[in-house]
Structure 1
Amino acid sequence: MTLDTTTLQIAFGAIAITLFVLFYTVSFRQTRSAYSAWWCAAIALFFTGTTSYLLDGTAHQVWANPLGNTLLVMGAVCVWAGARTLRTSRPAWLQLTAAPLLTLLASALDDPAADSWSGGAVFLGMMALSIGLASWELWRLPSSYSKVQAPLAVSSGLVAILYLARCLAFVIEGPDGYVFTTYFGSGTTTLVTMLLLVVVSFSAAALSAEQIATDLRARADRDALTGLLNRSGFLDLAATHTDRLARADRPGTLILADLDFFKAVNDTHGHAAGDTVLQTFAEACTETVRSTDLVGRYGGEEFIFLLPGASVSRSEDITRAVSLALRGHSTPGGFEMPTVSYGIAAIEASDYDLDAAIAAADRALYAAKASGRDRSVRAVGPALEQGRDSSAGPAGPPGA
C-alpha cells in the first residue's frame, strides 16, 4: 500500500494528539513549568495545523491553507519560546507574533484558493528560523544543565535544516521542481517530521523530569522567606568554593552578619515587620554582592557571606555598602531599619578551613556586638585582631 500525503498527515495528527495527551498528563501536570506549557502548546498547534491541510482541494482551501501554515509556524515559535525559558525568560509578544503574522499575510495574499503552496517560501523560512532558534537556545545551555539537552538540540537542528533545505529548493525550483518533489515533498517531510517529533517529545519529557529534580533541589537549598541559600545549602556550596580557592591559591573572606536589636522589631511592630526586615536585608545583600559571591541565611536574623577573591578591606567596603542599602529601603510601617554588625574572617594560604573561618568570623561578630554594634570587626586566623574594626554606620545603643 502506498502512503500518500493525506494518509501521512492523518497519521501525523494521530501521533501529535497522542503525544499531547501523554506529555500533558505525565509532564506538564507534574512540573507546571513554562517549558512544559510551551511544548504542550506546540504539539497542539502542530496537530491543528496539520489537520487544516486535509481541507486542501476543497472549497475551504482558501482559508484552511493559510490557517495551517500559520498554526504550524506558531507551533515552531512555541518550541523556541519553551527553549528560551530554560536559559533566560519568556520572549516578548512581538517576538512571538511576528513570524505567524508574516506567514498569514504571505499565505493570504498568494491566491490560496487555487494554490495549496500559497506563501510557501515564507512559511518554510519561518519554520526553519523558529526551530533553528530553538536549537540554538538549547545548545547554549550549560553542559551541566541536562543530559538530554544535546540530543534535543541536535534533533531540533535537524528539523530546522530540513525546512531550510525545503525553503531553498522551493525558491529555486518551485513546488513542482524535481528536487523539491523528490526529496522535500509533503509526504517525505511529514514522515521525517513525524519521526523527529517522537524523538524530540521523549527528550522533552526527560528534560521536564530533570527539571522536577532540579526544582526540588533548589527548594531544599533555599530559605523560603528571603530566597537566599539556607544554612545547609550555603555550607555545601561554600565547601566547594573554598576547595577551588585552595587549589588556585587565591584568597577569600567569610562574613557573618547579625541584625542589631532584631527582637525589638518583632516585639514593637510585629512578626510581619520582622519578616519585611529580613527580606529587605536579603535584597540589600543581593543588590550589593557579585554574582560569584555566596549569601545565605545562617539562622534567625544571622546571615553569612563567602566572597571568593576578596580581601578583608574589600569585604569591609561591602559591609558598609550593604548597611547603606538597607537604610535606603523604606518600610510599610515607616519604622527605621535596624543596624547590622559584621564579623569578617580571611580565608587565605595559611588556612583554607571553612569551619575555622566561620568560628573566627563568629568571634569577630561577638566583638562587634560588644563594642557597640553597627560596625564590622575583622579576625585573622583563630585570634581576633583587636582594634581593627570598621564602622558600618552610626553605632546603635548597647544592650541585648
Structure 2
Amino acid sequence: MLDTVTLRVAFGLVAICVLALFYSVTYRSTRSSYSGWWCVSLGCFIVSASLFLLNGTPVQILANPLGNAIAVLGAGCVWAAGRSLREIRVRWWQLAAVPAVVLAISLADDPRHDIWSGGAAYLACMALLVGASAWELAQLLRVLGPARATRAQYRFAVRAMVVVSSVISGFYLGRTVVFVAVGPDHVVFRAAFGGQVTTLLTMVLLVVVTFSMSALSHEQQTSELRLQATRDSLTGLLNRAEFLRAAQREIDRRPLRKDAAIVVADLDRFKSINDGLGHAAGDRVLTAFAEACQDVVGARGILGRLGGDEFVLLVRGSSAEAVVDAIARRYRGGEGSPMPTVSFGIAAAAAGDDIALAVEHADEALYEAKAAGRNRAVRAPRHDDRPPGVVDGRRTA
C-alpha cells in the first residue's frame, strides 16, 4: 500500500482539481450559498492536508495544530452548507468557536513532539460537525416530504449526501473511540483508522459527492430564483399573483371552515409617511405590519402583499375579526404612534369560490371602512346585495 505522505499528496491534487472544476463550473454559474460553502470547505481541507505534510519538520509545532483547526473549520463549512439549503443563516462565531477550541487544545498538548497533539478533540469535532451536516440534510429531506413536487434528482442528491456525511461522521466517531481507548500507535488504530485508510476513504467519498454538490447547488439556485419570482422583496410575503394561486389551491384542495375569509388591509394615510419621513421610514412601517401579520397568522393562513401599502390574507381556523383585532394590537398603530392606523376589508371564502372575486369583495369592504372614518374593519355580505357594514361597530386599533 502507498505510504501516508504519498496518499495525502494525491488527495491534495484531487481536491485541488475538484475545487477548480466546482468553482469554475458550478459556483460561478449558480452563485448559490451551498456551492460557496463547499468551495471554502474544499479549500480548508487542501490547506489542512498541506500542513499535515509538514509533520516531522521544525514547523510542526505550529503546522500540526493549525492543520487540526483548519480541517475542523472545513467540516464546519460542510455543516454551514447543509444549513444554507434550509435557508438558515450561520454566524461567523458559530464557525470560529469549535476550530478555536481545537487549536487551543492542540497547542497545549505538546505539538513539538507529538503529531497527534489534540487528536481526541480534533477527531471528535470532525465527527460532530459532519454528523451535524447529515442531520441538517435529513431534516431537509423530511421537509421535502414524499408529496412535494420536487425533482427526483434533487431528492436523490440529498439522500446521497446524507449517506456520505453519515459514513464520514461514523468513521471519525470510530476513530475517536479507538484513539481514546488504545492510542494512535496501537495496531487496531493503525489498521482501521490510520492515515492511509482515512486518506483513501476521504478521496473516494470526495469524488462520489461531487455530483451531489453540483445537483444541490443548481437546485438551490432554482429555488432562489423561484422565491424571487413569487415573493415581495421587502416584506418576504407572497406577491399578488402567487397569493391568488396559493389561496385558490388551498380552497380547492380541501373544504374550509365557515369562518375562513379573505382579509384585505390598507395602511391609513401611508403616503404622508413617505412624504414626511422618507421612503426608508415607509419601508420600516410596511415591514412592521408584515411582521405583525406573520406573528398572528403564522401557519393558519396565507399572506401576501397586493402592492404599495395594501396587504391580503387568507385566514382559516379562526374568526377573521379576531385575527384583525390581534394584528392591530400587535402592530399598535394609532394616536401618538409613529405607525399609521390600518383599515380592513373582510370577505367570506369557501370551497368553490373564486379567490380573485373574494379579494375584490374584500377590497370593496375596505373602501367602505375608509369612507366610514378609517381604522376599522368592514365585512362584505356574502350572498346578497346589502352594502357592507362595520363589523359589530368595532374599531381594530
TM range (shorter): 0.7 to 0.9
- Rounded Cα–Cα distance in structure 2 between residues aligned with 1:313 and 1:393: 9
Distance 1:32 1:352, change over 3 A: same
Q: Percent identity?
A: 46
C-alpha distance in structure 1 between counterparts of 2:13 and 2:335, whole Å: 60
Cα distance, 1:99–1:369 mapped onto 2, change above 3 Å: closer
1:245 Cα offset (Å): 4.1
User: Closer, same or farther in 2 for the Cα pair 1:104/1:263, shift >3 Å?
Assistant: closer
Shift of 1:242: 1.9
Q: Deviations over 1:241-299 (max 9, x none)?
A: 223441x6574111122344556666777767665654554344345432442222223
2:329 to 321, 329, 344: 321
Alpha carbons of 1:372 and 1:132: their partners in 2 closer, same or farther (altered >3 Å)?
A: same
**Map of 2:345 onto structure 1:** 343
With normalisation by structure 2, the TM-score equals 0.84
What RMSD, in angstroms, separates the aligned Cα atoms of the two structures? 3.0
Who is 1:243 aligned against? Answer: 252
Give the 3-state SS of the residue equivalent to 2:348 in structure 1.
strand
Contact 2:379 2:389 in 1 (8 A): no
Residue in 2 aligned with 1:397? none
Q: Which runs of 5+ in 1 are unaligned?
A: 332-336, 395-400
CA apart distance, 1:314:
2.1
SS, match of residue 113 in structure 2: coil
Is the Cα contact below 8 Å between 1:42 and 1:79 reproduced in 2? Answer: yes
Alpha-carbon deviation of 1:385? Answer: 6.7
Residue 252 in 1 paired to residue 251 in 2?
A: no
Give 2:214's aligned residue.
205
8 Å CA contact 1:319, 1:342 repeated in 2: no
What CA distance in whole angstroms lies between the structure 2 residues aligned with 1:330 and 1:88? 34
Report the CA distance shift for 1:326/1:202 in structure 2 as closer, same or farther (over 3 A). farther
- Aligned amino acid, residue 358 of structure 1: V
Structure 2 vs 1, CA of residues 373 and 102 (structure 1 numbering), >3 Å: closer, same or farther?
A: closer
C-alpha distance in 2 between matches for 1:328 and 1:137: 46
Q: Which residue of the partner structure matches residue 334 of structure 1?
A: none
**Alignment check: 8 A CA contact 1:228 1:282 kept:** yes
CA–CA distance in 1 between the matches of 2:85 and 2:335? Answer: 34
Paired residues of 2:82 and 2:136 also in contact (CA < 8 A): yes
Deviation of 1:225 after TM superposition, in Å, equals 4.2
Q: Following the alignment from structure 1 to structure 2, what is the Cα–Cα distance between the partners of residues 222 and 353?
A: 22
Classify the secondary structure of the residue corresponding to 2:166. helix
- The alpha-carbon deviation at position 184 of structure 1 amounts to 1.6
More off after superposition, 65-74 vs 370-379: 370-379
Q: Distance in 2 between matches of 1:265 and 1:53?
A: 61
- Structure 1: how far apart are the matches of 2:287 and 2:329? 17
Residue type of the partner of 1:39? W
1:359 aligns with 2:360: yes
Counterpart of 1:294 in 2: which secondary structure? Answer: strand
Structure 1 residues 299 and 87, CA gap change in structure 2 (3 angstroms): closer
- Separation in 2 of the partners of 1:197 and 1:105? 29
Q: How does 1:110-125 map to 2 (within 5 A)?
A: 110-125=109-124
Greater displacement, 308-317 / 162-171? 308-317
Contact 1:20 1:44 in 2 (8 A): yes
Aligned counterpart, 1:60: 59
| Cα distance, 1:329–1:87 mapped onto 2, change above 3 Å | farther
The amino acid across from 1:343 in the alignment is G
Report SS of the residue matched to 2:233. Answer: coil
CA deviations over 1:4-58 (Å, ceiling 9, x no partner): 2111101111111222222323333344444333222211110011111222233
Moved more, 28-37 or 50-59: 28-37
Q: Confirm or deny: 8 A CA contact 1:320 1:392 kept in the other structure.
A: no
SS of the residue aligned with 2:262?
A: strand
Q: Does 1:182 align with 2:184?
A: no
The correspondence for 2:240, drawn from 231, 235, 243, is: 231
Deviates further, 202-211 or 22-31:
22-31
Give distance in 1, aligned partners of 2:272 and 2:349: 34
* Partner Cα distance (1:320, 1:370) in 2: 19
2:185 and 2:280 map into 1 onto residues whose CA distance is: 71
Write the letter of the residue equivalent to 2:209.
V
Distance in 2 (CA, whole Å) between partners of 1:107 and 1:272 is 50
**Change beyond 3 A, Cα 1:354–1:261:** same
Change (3 A) 1:151 1:367: same
- When residues 99 and 381 of structure 1 are mapped into structure 2, their CA distance, relative to the original with a 3 A threshold, is same
Kindly tell me: are residues 279 and 135 of structure 1, through their superposed partners in 2, closer, same or farther at Cα, counting changes over 3 Å?
Answer: closer
- Cα 1:369/1:99, change in 2 over 3 Å: closer
Q: 1:48 to 1:225 in 2, by over 3 A?
A: closer
Cα drift, residue 191 of structure 1 = 0.7
Count how many residue pairs are aligned between Structure 1 and Structure 2: 385
* 1:127-276 correspondence to structure 2 within 5 Å: 127-141=126-140, 142-143=143-144, 146-147=154-155, 148-246=157-255, 251-262=259-270
Query: Matched residues in 1 for 2:92 and 2:100: separation?
Result: 12
Deviation per CA, 1:86-135: give whole Å up to 9, x if none.
33644455543343233323333433333332332222112111111111
Distance (Å, rounded) in 1 between the aligned partners of 2:283 and 2:334: 16
Q: 1:347 to 1:110 in 2, by over 3 A?
A: same
- Structure 1 pair 221/88, CA: closer, same or farther in 2 (3 Å)? closer
Alignment pair present for 1:392 and 2:391: no
User: In the alignment, which residue of structure 2 is the partner of 1:398?
Assistant: none
**What TM-score do the two structures reach when normalised by structure 1?**
0.84
Aligned to 1:374: 375
Structure 2: unaligned runs, 5 residues or longer: none
Contact 2:85 2:220 in 1 (8 A): no
